[in-house]
């Protein structure tokens, strides 16, 4: 298979390649150039949950299990409450 480089330095992967690899628009690929000018494209490894650490600010105080359960129950009750008919 062959791909063409655009004037902007972009390359379109052939449909067969995208389909075989399950690639979609916006997916990321790692590019490695070997000493013999071979180009290797790989999917980056899946992000681990530890990479999410620090994404959100720390809460001002921790909730107890009972407080979490009460909050979930209140949310579900409001979400599934029948609407009042006029």
Question: According to the model, what pLDDT value does residue 63 have?
Answer: 92
Question: According to the model, what pLDDT value does residue 48 have?
Answer: 79
Condensed to tens digits (0 to 9), the pLDDT of residues 6-35 reads: 999 999 889 998 899 889 998 899 999 999
**Percent of the chain residues topping a pLDDT of 90:** 44
Nearest residue to 11 (alpha-carbon basis) of 22, 21, 1: 1
Domains annotated for the chain, with CATH where assigned, are 7-44 (2.10.260)
For residue 35, what are its two tokens?
């000493």
């Amino acid at each position: 298979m062959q791909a063409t480089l655009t004037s902007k330095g972009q390359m379109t992967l052939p449909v067969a390649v995208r389909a075989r690899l399950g690639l979609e628009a916006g997916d990321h690929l790692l590019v490695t150039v070997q000493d013999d000018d071979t180009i290797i494209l790989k999917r980056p490894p899946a992000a681990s949950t530890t990479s999410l650490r620090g994404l959100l600010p720390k809460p001002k105080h921790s909730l107890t299990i009972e407080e979490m359960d009460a909050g979930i129950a209140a949310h579900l009750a409001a979400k599934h409450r029948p609407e009042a008919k006029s």
